A and B are shown apart, each in its own frame.
Chain A
Amino acid sequence: MSQTYAAGSVGTGTATGLADLTPRRMLQLALGAIWLLDGILQYQAFMYSKAFPQMLASSAAGNPAILATPITWNAGFIAHNLAAYNTIFATIQVAIGLGIAWRPAVKPALAASVVWALGVWWFGEGFNGILTSSGSSPVAGAPGGVIIYALLAVLLWPTDRAAPFEAARAVGRRTAQALWLILWASLAYFALLPASRAPHAISQTISGMAAGEPGWLSWIDTHAASALSGQGLAASIVLAVACGVVALGTYLPRSAARATIVLAIAVATALWLAEGLGGIFTGSGTDPSTGPLLALLALTFWPVHAAIKQKEGA
C-alpha cells in the first residue's frame, strides 16, 4: 500500500512509514504533536477552575500599563464563562495540531499557530515577564515557550526552496540565522538579568518548580537548587556563555555548527528539567515550556546532508 502523495509545496513522501517522511515533514509533525499535547493539557480540571483566570491575571504584574490592562481585562472576561472559553481554547490548540498533521491544512494551521501563539504570549503569559523591571530568566521559561511556537511555524512553512538547513528554506539562510541569533542572544541577555544573577535567584526558581512534581523530578530539581544555592552569578554567567556560543553557531563551519546544535539541545534539556518539565505533572501545566521547543528549533538548524537535499529536490 505504498502510495506517493504530493501535497503541493508541502513536499513529497510515501505513506508507508516514518522513514519515508522528509526531515521537514517530520519537524512539522513534531510541532503538530506538541500543539496536540498543549490542547489536551488545556482540558485539565485546573483550567476549568477559578485559578486559571487568576493565573492569567497574575501575568499582568510588572508589565507596562498599556500591555497589562488588556491582560487583566482578558482574564476577567474569560472568568465570566470559563468553561466555554477554556473549551474553545483547548479545541483550537487540538485543531492546530491536527491541522498541521493533515497535509491539505498545513498552511492554514501554521498561520493559525502564529496568530494564536502571539495572542497567548500577550494575553496568557504577559510576555513571560521579559518587559518587567527585574526581567525574566531562561530558567523560568523566558522569553516564553509560546513565542517559539510562532517562530517554528514561520521556519517550517511549506516551501520547495533548497537550503543548507531546514529553517532556511522558508525565510532564507540569512533571515533564519538572524532569528536564531536574536533568540539565543536574548536568552544569554536574560540569563544576566537580576532575575537570574542574584545569588539565590536561579536556585529559588528551580526549587519552586519542585512542588507537586513526582518524586524523581522533585529530587532532580531539589538537588539542582541546592547545588546552585548562592551561586546565581556563576550559574548565570555559564548559562549566558553557553547561550552566546549557541547564538553564533549557525555562522560557523558545518562541523562546528553541528556541535553548537548539540550544545543547544543540551541547554534545552537542562532548562526543561529546571523548569520541572513545564509543570505538566502538577495538573496545572498548560504546555511543556521552552525545553522541547528549543530542542525542536535546534533540529531545524541542523545542517542538511547533500543526499537529503537531492532526495527532497527529486
Chain B
Amino acid sequence: MGGPGWLAGILAAVMLTVAVYCAGRLVVARRTGRPTEVDADGVHVFMGVAMAGMLTAGLKFLPAGTWEAVFALGAAWFGWRLVRVRRNAQATASPWRCLHPLPHLVECGAMLYMLAVAVTVVSKSTGTGMAAMTLSATAQRFSIVALALAVFMLGYTVWLGDRVAATALAGGTTTTTGHACPPRLAPRCAALCKIAMGVTMGYMLVMLL
C-alpha cells in the first residue's frame, strides 16, 4: 500500500511545521504566561518529528524503539489524565493541560501501532513515484485496528473542525480557584495543528489498511 511520494513529502513538511510550531507555542506560553495545553503541544512536537520520519525515510533519525518509548510514556500520561478527568473533571481542569485527553491517548496508541507494524517506510523513487509503508504478513491480520484508529482520527478531525469557529470566541478562562487567567495562546492555530495532525495520521493509517 502507499500513496504518491510527493504527497508523503508534503505531509512530512506539514508535520515538521506542526512540530516546530508546537515547540514555539511552549516557549511563547512560558514567556508570556498565556496558557497552552503543555502536554498536547509537547506530544505533538515528538509526533510531528516521528511522523515526518515515517513518511519520508530521509527524515528518520531515531530508531523505532526510542519513539515507542516516547509514545508509551505519552499514552500513560494521557491515560492517567483521562481517568482523572472522568473521576472529577472540575478539580483537574487546568488551562495548562489538555481538556480532552482521549484523542491524544488514541494518537499515542496509533503511533505505537504504526511503529510496531510498519516494517519499513520507503520513499521510493520508482517509476510510479510511490511511497510505500510495508506491513509484515502478521500485521496485516490486524488491519482492522488501523481502520478503527483511522475512523477515530477522522471523526476527531471533523469534531475539531466544528470547534474551530467556536474556538475563536474563546476569551479568558477561570481556574478552579476562581482566579482569572489570560486568554489561551492562539487557540484557533492550536486547533488547526490538531486537524493537520489528525488528517495526516488518518492518511498514514489508511495507507496501512
Contacts and interface: CB of A to CB of B under 8 A. Distances in A.
A124 B11 CA distance: 27
B173 interface: yes
* B-side interface mostly: helix
A43 B3 contact: yes
Given A15-B163, A40-B150, A44-B207, 18 more contacts: A1-B184, A5-B165, A7-B165, A16-B99, A18-B159, A21-B162, A29-B162, A33-B151, A40-B154, A45-B1, A83-B4, A97-B158, A98-B195, A101-B161, A102-B162, A103-B165, A216-B144, A281-B209
Contact of A216 (B4, B141, B163, B203): B141
Nearest to B205: A40
A214 interface: yes
A195 to B, nearest CB: 28
Interface residues of A, number: 41
Interface residues of B, number: 44
Contacts of A33: 151, 154-155, 157-158
A214 B141 contact: yes
A78 to B, nearest CB: 16
A87 to B, nearest CB: 8
Interface string A71-106: 000000000000100010000001001101111100
A48 B3 CA distance: 8
Identify which of A30, A32, A36, A49 gathers the most chain B CB atoms within 10 Å of its CB.
A36
A206 interface: no
Nearest to A285: B209
A280 B209 contact: yes
Interface in A1-46: 1, 3, 5, 7, 14-18, 21, 25, 29-30, 32-33, 36-37, 40-41, 43-45
Contacts of A3: 166-167, 169-171
Contact of B2 (A15, A45, A214, A216): A45
Contact of B141 (A18, A30, A215): A215
Interface of A: 1, 3, 5, 7, 14-18, 21, 25, 29-30, 32-33, 36-37, 40-41, 43-45, 48-49, 83, 87, 94, 97-98, 100-104, 214-216, 277, 280-281, 283
B158 A101 contact: yes
7 contacts: A15-B167, A36-B202, A43-B203, A98-B161, A101-B162, A214-B140, A216-B141
